[in-house]
Structure 1
Amino acid sequence: MATARMARTAGRSGTRRQGSVATAARGRNEMAGAYNLRSTDNRKINRKVKKEVYVDYSMIFVVLFLLVFGLVMLYSTSSYDGRLKYEDSAYYLKHQLMPTCLGVGVMMLVSRIPYHLYSKLSSLAYVMAITLILLVKTPLGMEINKARRWIKIFGVSVQPAEAAKLAMIIVLATFISKLGKGITQPKAFWVVLGVPVPVSLLVWKVTSNLSSAIIIFGIAFLMLFVSTPGYRKFIAITAAGVAAAAGVVALVVRAGYHSEMNYRFGRILAWLDPEAYVNDKGYQTLQSLYAIGSGGIFGKGLGESMQKLGFIPEAQNDMIFSIICEELGIVGAIAVMIMFVILIYRMMIIAQNAPDMYGALLVIGVMAHISIQVILNIAVVTNTIPNTGITLPFISYGGTAVLFLLTEMGIVFNVARHIEV
């Protein structure tokens, strides 16, 4: 009896122990499940954090600063000319304000459009760029200041060369990213380098705009330089270009000036000795140098320029940097250059952190466009290179230029939005 009772007690104890073990196991499972659930929630939260939109506020500030500064300097530079020609000192400001505001809206819109969409439209962009250039020779073409470089569509003037710059960035970014490592092959390299040649030649010959043709080819050259390993080809191409330019200068100097000389060759002679051609090709350059020299360190003050009073023709276009130097001095000029350096640096950071090669190349193309144009414009104003029509980005007068530049910046901001934070 005692033995049976002990056995029953041991059995109940064993059952209770088994129940306790089972209950503990269920508790551990529930805790593990809760932990896994919390881990899953944490991973979801982390994924949400990673999807946070990256916004480069410093670059936004620089772009807006350059736009506002450009409008202020445009009014200061063009008020005399506008009052003299159109009896409205704010004439040029009003005509620049509308495309600037429109451009800011387009920039905001484009920054929301996924940049991979442009790769599907690259062929269309190439064809459209060529078509717009050819339309200059049709009744839609416009002649301004003895240059036929614009077309008028629905009452709005458009400069096809500016559209061609944006189209070339999209086309080359698509082409190079699709080639991938194949870009290292010699045949692929020369094919890519040949893509911008037809567009550059058309811009040069159809619109007589050699400076824009050089910029378009320069954009392609820099995009290819960044995406291709090795430097020998680029050093050879650069050396050949410099040698060719030096040869042209030597031939022009030997030929001397005569009435039938090409006006571009006349600019080379004026570049070498502007005082000798002060009544012709050297006049604008010499007046620009007077403006820079008279500005000194701190300038004469905003609105106090003398050279803008008819001495520098169309100062609000290519020569606006000389008025900046005169009114704000070397300090103001350096401040503007620093803003451009910051802008280019921020774009370089975005290109380095872009989620893919295509996005990086788009940013590099925009960076190349702005940097080439800034360098060439300042070089022209300071007579470092021969005079040619190159505007200062975001600051010089020109609605088409600022509209397409802001569109390009919208693409840069869109690539930045896809960077994981």
Structure 2
Amino acid sequence: MQILKRITQKLQYLDYFIFIPYIILSGIGVVMVYSASSYKVQMAGGDPTTYLKKQLLFAILGLLVAFLIYSMKVNFFKSSGFIILFGAVSILLLLYVVLSGKTVNGAAGWINFGSFNIQPAEISKIFLVLFMAQQVAFRENKELSYEGRNKRRFIYAIAVVLPLILILIEPDVGGFIINFSAVLIIILASGYSIGITSLISVGGMGTLMILLSKLKSVSPDSGGPLAYMAKRFSGFNDPFKYQQSTGQQLVNSYYALSNGGIFGAGLGNSIQKRGYLPEPYTDFILAITGEELGLLMVFFILILLFSMIGRIIFIGSKSKETFHSLCCYGIATFMTVQTVFNVGGISGVLPITGVTFPFLSYGGSSMLILSFCVGLVLNISALRKKELLNNK
């Protein structure tokens, strides 16, 4: 009851430029997950509404999470106790998934809980953003001793580098780049020296380049995660040459977008979801959306998403608290990079990395994490609105 009371009191400060796109995108996601999954499930003898029910549940739970985070004090998420606990859970889950996680599409990035899977790389997004923002805010505290700062730098380095390395080991190149990008943007926005920023940039990209260089010597038929990644890169380079194997996803994504044209073939009328695209309701849901609802709907979805991201950046730029600003920048960064990688993957501009489309793709981990972020940004926006009203 106390939570409901706090939410009711804060509704007057709700930022509808973020909330409305969030609701619309989540609603489109539920509809498209059902449309993209129903045929495949039905042909397998299952209930065609299986993924509809799950995604609707994820959307509702996500909305509850967003309002729960919105009702809390922002400083709670800055507290060392919360971040240490969150970080410990995030790193332990990543360790577990590397050692014995469920392999999906060539990468051991999932923990299986019955009919539901958890993706620890998604959880690490929040931890890294909150931790980085907190550490920069602490760095501005002139009361810390020189020794105290040195200890923090050491812990800071371990806490940031370890999750990134574990994500790369899975291997999840897309997840690594998304998380690393958020870390890098926060560092750039925080005013760290050029030397430190360059060192971290070179270190992160160097690690990625070493992994990618190994793919050249890996046989696509050798088996294992690296072999799967090598197959994806060969399919990206010449998809039509390998359209019966590694290029199948990209070629059928082209067909889906071509079939849809500007106005689409109609909801439920996709051809490519009928066994041609192996991941029609996850990685390639935007391709199915384009086929059924057309290029105009795809543009509408992108406009909604980037208007939300733009609003998050605006809130960050206007916030007086460093922690608040950097949280907004970190969240806007990983949402942007995730969107670019997904759209680039389905259009053949970038290699397919298994990155889902925010709010639309099927998945509980992604929806709950994104909802957490939306709730946090709404909370920061509400604080800013309240301060503006009080100063009048």
Residue of structure 1 equivalent to 2:327: 362
Residue of structure 1 equivalent to 2:252: 287
Structure-1-length-normalised TM-score: 0.77
Tell me the distance in 2 between the aligned counterparts of 1:235 and 1:299.
46
Tell me the distance in 1 between the aligned counterparts of 2:26 and 2:383.
25
Residue identity opposite 2:38 in structure 1: S
Residue of structure 2 equivalent to 1:218: 181
Residue of structure 1 equivalent to 2:358: 393
Secondary structure, aligned partner of 1:310: coil
Identity %: 28
Residue identity opposite 2:91 in structure 1: I
Residue identity opposite 1:122 in structure 2: I
Residue of structure 1 equivalent to 2:7: none
Tell me the distance in 2 between the aligned counterparts of 1:408 and 1:112.
13
Tell me the distance in 2 between the aligned counterparts of 1:244 and 1:154.
35
Is 1:99 matched up with 2:61?
no
Which residue, out of 159, 173, 176, partners 2:119?
159
With 52-61 and 229-238 compared, the bigger mean Cα shift is at 229-238
Q: Relative to 1, partners in 2 of residues 1:403 and 1:246: Cα closer, same or farther, differing over 3 Å? A: closer
Tell me the distance in 1 between the aligned counterparts of 2:59 and 2:358.
12
Residue of structure 2 equivalent to 1:10: none
Q: RMSD in angstroms over aligned alpha carbons?
A: 3.1
Q: Which aligned pairs between 1:126-145 and structure 2 lie closer than 5 A?
A: 126-136=87-97, 141-144=101-104
CA deviation map 1:148-200 (0-9, x unaligned): 43224587532211111111111111111111399xxxx99999677422101
* Alpha-carbon distance, 1:243 to partner: 9.0
Structure-2-length-normalised TM-score: 0.83
Which residue, out of 69, 84, 88, partners 1:110?
69
Q: Relative to 1, partners in 2 of residues 1:251 and 1:175: Cα closer, same or farther, differing over 3 Å? A: closer
Residue of structure 1 equivalent to 2:147: none
Which residue, out of 273, 278, 292, partners 2:238?
273
Q: Relative to 1, partners in 2 of residues 1:337 and 1:189: Cα closer, same or farther, differing over 3 Å? A: farther
Tell me the distance in 2 between the aligned counterparts of 1:355 and 1:68.
33
Is 1:340 matched up with 2:300?
no
Secondary structure, aligned partner of 1:111: helix
Secondary structure, aligned partner of 2:117: strand
Residue identity opposite 1:97 in structure 2: L
Which residue, out of 365, 370, 378, partners 2:343?
378
Contact 1:379-1:385 within 8 A present in 2 as well = yes
CA deviation map 1:50-89 (0-9, x unaligned): x996321121110000000111111111110121235211
Residue of structure 2 equivalent to 1:259: 221
Is 1:175 matched up with 2:147?
no
* Alpha-carbon distance, 1:384 to partner: 1.0
Residue identity opposite 1:413 in structure 2: L
Residue of structure 2 equivalent to 1:11: none
* Alpha-carbon distance, 1:132 to partner: 1.4
What 5-or-longer segments of structure 1 have no aligned partner? 1-50
Larger Rg: 1
Is 1:123 matched up with 2:84?
yes
With 146-155 and 86-95 compared, the bigger mean Cα shift is at 146-155
Contact 1:196-1:217 within 8 A present in 2 as well = no
What 5-or-longer segments of structure 2 have no aligned partner? 1-9, 143-149
Q: Which aligned pairs between 1:1-16 and structure 2 lie closer than 5 A?
A: none
Tell me the distance in 1 between the aligned counterparts of 2:128 and 2:353.
22
Q: Relative to 1, partners in 2 of residues 1:297 and 1:92: Cα closer, same or farther, differing over 3 Å? A: same
Contact 2:219-2:227 within 8 A present in 1 as well = no
Contact 2:187-2:197 within 8 A present in 1 as well = no
Q: Which aligned pairs between 1:305-344 and structure 2 lie closer than 5 A?
A: 305-344=270-309
Tell me the distance in 1 between the aligned counterparts of 2:345 and 2:361.
14
